[in-house]
């Protein structure tokens, strides 16, 4: 058991040290949501009226509405980037090194997932700190209640990245993942517009948004910021997270998985 | 059963047969060179030996442990130097080695003692605090070899470990690993396509188009020819 914890600690430390070393990645991860908050949301404020729906008890400005979605965006980008980076050319080597550890493979994958989620959560709090400087603040209780919501949400999105990294052959191009995974997940969710707003344009669109696990992660975060538990969202996040983790473990299983397809024949 | 055992190993990527019924043994204390032109199946063999993926047919034994039935025990006895660099360039030598030690369940003072001993053997102890990015190619390779020995494996696998290095560094690293196999009783499998890395007394396996075409000592196999000429004649390709 001590071996298992030693591996978890080492993998988390490595992720943290690498992250600190890559300041560009840190800045990019913060600039993206800040642009949405300061530029996009400010412009949209006048165009979009929001009605009072839970968890909001009073009229809410668009900047406040969009914050949970942007927290989710950080988790989504980071989860994808960290997991997919494992199969980039140079990273493939370090992934192979990881897989030669005598610990169970599923545990090694879970360690990677926990480590990258910890880094994502740190970024979310830095983002919330910056947002507070722009006057978008939540209660201290909300910030505290957010933490237990970010953990399953981050793990779920990281697991998605991990599952994708095991089954997709060509990953040199992050743009492909942006176009086919990140953008659809982000735009077809409640990150930018509430469900009822989506329903005004199309019932189908609303249904897609409702079942999108990213929506559920965003709603879990949104309710947590107001110290409320959205149990349905939590259940949906946990369920989809387990499915993706299962897929990832299957994908990296040397007997059945598809990792060999990502490997270089020769 | 000790050393490295490979029995009847086959592997196909779809319709393309990458390995076809490959069998060989490498005894403890033996330096075994695996020679093959590009595309011969060396990388596939290494992927199977390191359990990146498993073969539907055939068996692999690492120091007496069956890779399919007891993969964790088998991996515990195995050190690997991959063809691609697997060091974190922005982390120090110490960080890189501590990370690896922890993946093998080694922590604290025990890990540190092993790390320093492994670096000592490769005359790199003074570089513990340096960033890997600041090391030259030869030192990075030596560091990877030192790392692969931290958990005291019985079998050491090296996949073209001298690619991209100058002649003097190549010679030094090759000599060092030969020495390790002799003095420590380590079972070494060294994949290469460079015949000058192989001593006459070494075991030699020649892999060609997924099949093991020769297995013996380099001296026996080459006969009166130079090894490069022998290899060329056998495979019809430049070594």
pLDDT tens digits for B182-219? 998 999 999 998 888 999 999 999 999 999 998 999 99
Is the bond leading into A102 cis (omega within 30 degrees of zero)?
Answer: no
Q: Which two tokens stand for residue A241?
A: 């997270």
Using 50, 70 and 90 to split pLDDT, how confident is the model at A265?
very low
Tokens coding A46: 């006048």
Distance from CA of A166 to the nearest CA of B (A): 12
The structure tokens 């897609």 sit at: A208
Q: Domain count for chain A, please give it.
A: 1
pLDDT over threshold 70, residue A262: no
CATH of the domain at B40: 3.40.50.300
Which residue in A has a C-alpha nearest to residue B144's C-alpha? A97
Where b means 16+ CB within 10 Å and e means fewer, B88-110 reads beebbbbbbbbbbbbbbbbbeee
Residue A57's alpha-carbon distances to A51, A52, A60, A91, A198, in angstroms, are 10, 6, 8, 47, 21
Distance (Å, whole) CA A263 – CA B195: 26
Question: What average pLDDT does range B17-37 have in this prediction?
Answer: 94
pLDDT, residue A92, reads 62
Task: Give me the mean pLDDT over the A15-26 stretch.
Answer: 80
The predicted structure's pLDDT at residue B97:
95
Lowest-pLDDT choice from A3-17, A51-65, A98-112: A51-65
Give yes or no for residue A89 having a pLDDT over 70.
no
Q: Which residue did the predictor score with more confidence, A94 or A107? A: A107
> Which H/E stretch holds residue A3?
helix A2-21
Greater model confidence, A42 or B204: B204
**Could A10 and B103 be called an inter-chain contact, meaning their C-beta atoms sit closer than 8 Å?**
yes
- Which of A10, A259, A266 is the closest to B42 by Cβ? A266
pLDDT in tens, A189-244: 998 888 887 888 888 989 999 999 999 999 999 999 999 999 999 999 999 999 99
The per-residue pLDDT for A260 is 54
Residue B238 pLDDT > 70, yes or no? no
Percent of chain A with pLDDT over 70: 87
DSSP letter (8 states) at residue B203: E
* Interchain contact, A255 vs B72, CB within 8 Å: no
Q: Which residues of B touch A22 (CB under 8 A)?
A: 90
Nearest to B13 among A18, A90, A265 (CB): A265
From chain B residues 107-136, the ones with a CB under 8 A of any chain A CB are 107
Task: Kindly state whether residue B28 falls inside one of the protein's structural domains.
Answer: yes
Judgement on whether residues B98 and B46 belong to the same structural domain of the protein: no
Residue B69 included in any domain: yes
**Pair (B4, B69) in one structural domain:** yes
Q: Are residues B162 and B227 in the same domain?
A: yes
pLDDT of res. A87: 62
Q: Euclidean distance between the first and final Cα of chain B, in Å?
A: 33
- Is B203 part of the contact surface with chain A (CB cutoff 8 Å)? no
Percent of chain A residues topping a pLDDT of 90: 44
Establish if B95 belongs to a structural domain.
Answer: yes
**What percent of chain B stands above pLDDT 90?**
62
Interface test with A, best of B40, B57, B99 (most A CBs within 10 A): B99
Q: Give the nearest chain B residue to A255 (CA atoms).
A: B54
pLDDT greater than 70 at residue A168: no
Residues B174, B120 share a domain: no
How many helices, marked H, and strands, marked E, lie in chain B?
A: 8, 10
Nearest to A7 among B42, B95, B102 (CB): B102
CA–CA dist A128, A68 (Å, integer):
10
Task: Please report the pLDDT score of residue B71 as a whole number.
Answer: 92
- Verify that B73 and B170 share a domain, yes or no: yes
Which residues of chain A does B91 touch, with a Cβ-Cβ cutoff of 8 Å? 14, 17-18, 21
Both tokens of residue A203?
Answer: 């019932």
Determine, yes or no, domain membership for B194.
Answer: yes
Say yes or no to pLDDT of B21 above 90: yes
Q: How many domains does chain B have?
A: 2
- Give the C-alpha separation, A249 to A105, whole Å: 8
User: Which residue has better confidence, A25 or A103?
Assistant: A103
Query: Please, are residues A86 and A92 in contact by the beta-carbon 8 Å criterion?
Result: yes
Q: Give the burial string for A84-93 (b: 16+ CB within 10 Å, else e).
A: bbbbeeebbb
Is B17 domain-assigned? yes
Identify the top-confidence range among A111-120, A144-153, B40-49, B175-184. Answer: A144-153
Range of the domain at B147: 87-152
* C-alpha pair distances (Å), B140 with each of B1, B155, B156: 34, 21, 17
User: How far is C-alpha A98 from the chain's CA centre?
Assistant: 23
SS (H, E, C) B73-136: HHHHCEEEECCCCCCCCCCEHHHHHHHHHHHCCCCHHHHHHHHHHHHHHCCCHHHCCCEHHHCC
> Out of A15-19, A133-137, B184-188, which region has the weakest mean confidence (pLDDT)?
A15-19
- The CA-atom distances, in angstroms, between B121 and each of A91, B124, B125, B140 are 28, 8, 8, 15
Decide if A266 and B82 are in contact by the 8 Å CB cutoff: no
Question: Which domain covers residue A211, as residue numbers?
Answer: 2-262
Note whether residue B82 is domain-resident: no
Diameter over CA atoms, chain B = 54
Residues B141 and B239 both lie in one domain: no
CA-CA-CA-CA dihedral for A150, A113, A129, A178, to nearest 10: -100
Q: Does B225 touch chain A (CB under 8 A)?
A: no
pLDDT at residue A25, as a whole number: 76
Does residue B43 sit within a domain?
yes
- For residue B95, what pLDDT is reported? 93
CA distance linking residue B78 with residue B73, whole number of Å = 9
Plot region of B101 (φ>0 → left; ψ -120 to 50 → alpha; else → beta) = alpha
Q: Which residue has the tokens 């933490």?
A: A147
B201 and B122 inside one domain:
no
Q: Are B188 and B33 in contact (CB under 8 A)?
A: no
Any A CB within 8 A of B183 CB: no
Determine phi and psi for A125, rounding to 5 degrees. -70, -35
pLDDT of residue B129: 92
Give the ipTM.
0.84
Q: Report the pLDDT value the prediction gives residue A266, as an integer from 0 to 100.
A: 36
Task: Indicate if B167 and B138 belong to the same structural domain.
Answer: no
Say yes or no: B159 and B147 in one domain: no
What does the pLDDT look like over A52-82, one tens digit per residue? 777 887 778 888 899 999 999 999 998 888 7
Q: B40 to chain A: which residues are within 8 Å by CB?
A: 266
- C-alpha distance from A129 to closest chain B C-alpha (Å): 28
| Residue that is last in its domain, among B120, B152, B184 | B152
B169 inside 8 A of chain A by CB: no
Residue B140 and residue B185 share a domain? no
Q: Which residue of A has its CA nearest to B48?
A: A254
User: Which residues of B are less than 8 Å from A98 in CB distance?
Assistant: 103
Q: What is the pLDDT of residue A117?
A: 94
Say yes or no: B160 and B148 in one domain. Answer: no
Average pLDDT over residues A33-43: 86
Best-predicted range by mean pLDDT (A35-39, A164-168, A225-229, B231-235): A225-229
Rounded-to-integer distance, Cα A221 and Cα A128, Å:
12
User: Least CA distance to B79: which residue of chain A?
Assistant: A100
Tell whether B177 and B191 lie within a shared domain. yes
């Amino acid at each position: 058991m001590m071996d298992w914890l030693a591996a978890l600690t080492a993998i988390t430390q490595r992720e943290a040290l690498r992250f600190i070393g890559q300041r560009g990645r840190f800045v990019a991860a913060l600039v993206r949501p800040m642009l949405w908050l300061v530029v996009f949301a400010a412009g949209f404020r006048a165009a979009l009226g929001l009605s009072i729906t839970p968890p909001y008890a009073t009229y809410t400005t668009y900047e406040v509405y969009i914050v949970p979605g942007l927290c989710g965006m950080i988790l989504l980008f980071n989860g994808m980037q960290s997991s997919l980076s494992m199969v980039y050319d140079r990273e493939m080597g370090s992934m192979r090194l990881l897989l030669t550890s005598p610990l169970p493979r599923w545990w090694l994958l879970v360690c990677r997932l926990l480590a990258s989620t910890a880094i994502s959560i740190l970024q979310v709090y830095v983002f919330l700190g910056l947002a507070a400087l722009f006057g978008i603040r939540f209660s201290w209780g909300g910030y505290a209640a957010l933490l237990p919501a970010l953990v399953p949400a981050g793990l779920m999105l990281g697991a998605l990245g991990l599952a994708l990294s095991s089954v997709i052959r060509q990953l040199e191009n992050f743009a492909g993942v942006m176009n086919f995974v990140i953008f659809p997940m982000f735009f077809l969710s409640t990150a930018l517009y509430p469900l009822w707003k989506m329903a005004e344009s199309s019932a189908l669109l609303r249904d897609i948004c409702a079942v999108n696990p990213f929506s559920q992660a965003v709603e879990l975060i949104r309710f947590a910021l107001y110290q409320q538990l959205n149990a349905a969202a939590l259940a949906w996040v946990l369920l989809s997270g387990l499915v993706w983790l299962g897929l990832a473990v299957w994908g990296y299983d040397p007997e059945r998985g598809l990792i060999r397809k990502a490997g270089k024949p020769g | 059963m000790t050393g490295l055992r490979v029995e009847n190993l086959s592997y196909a990527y779809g319709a393309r047969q990458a390995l076809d019924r490959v069998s060989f043994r490498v005894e403890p204390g033996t330096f075994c060179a695996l020679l093959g032109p590009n595309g011969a199946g060396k990388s596939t063999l290494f992927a199977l030996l390191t359990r990146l993926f498993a073969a539907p047919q055939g068996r692999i034994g690492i120091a007496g442990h069956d890779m399919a039935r007891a993969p964790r025990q088998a991996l515990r006895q195995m050190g690997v130097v991959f063809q691609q660099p697997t060091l974190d360039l922005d982390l120090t030598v110490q960080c890189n080695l501590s990370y690896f030690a922890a993946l093998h369940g080694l922590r604290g003072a025990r890990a540190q003692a092993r790390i320093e001993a492994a670096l000592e053997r490769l005359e790199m102890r003074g570089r513990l605090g340096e960033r890997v990015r600041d090391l030259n190619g030869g030192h990075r390779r030596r560091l990877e070899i030192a790392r692969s020995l931290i958990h005291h494996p019985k079998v050491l696998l090296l996949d073209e470990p001298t690619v991209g290095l100058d002649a003097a560094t190549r010679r030094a690293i090759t000599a060092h690993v030969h020495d390790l196999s002799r003095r420590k009783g380590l079972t070494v499998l060294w994949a290469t396509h460079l015949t000058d890395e192989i001593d006459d007394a070494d075991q030699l396996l020649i892999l060609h188009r997924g099949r093991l075409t020769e297995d013996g000592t380099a001296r026996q196999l080459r006969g009166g020819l130079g090894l490069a000429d022998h290899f060329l004649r056998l495979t019809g390709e430049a070594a």
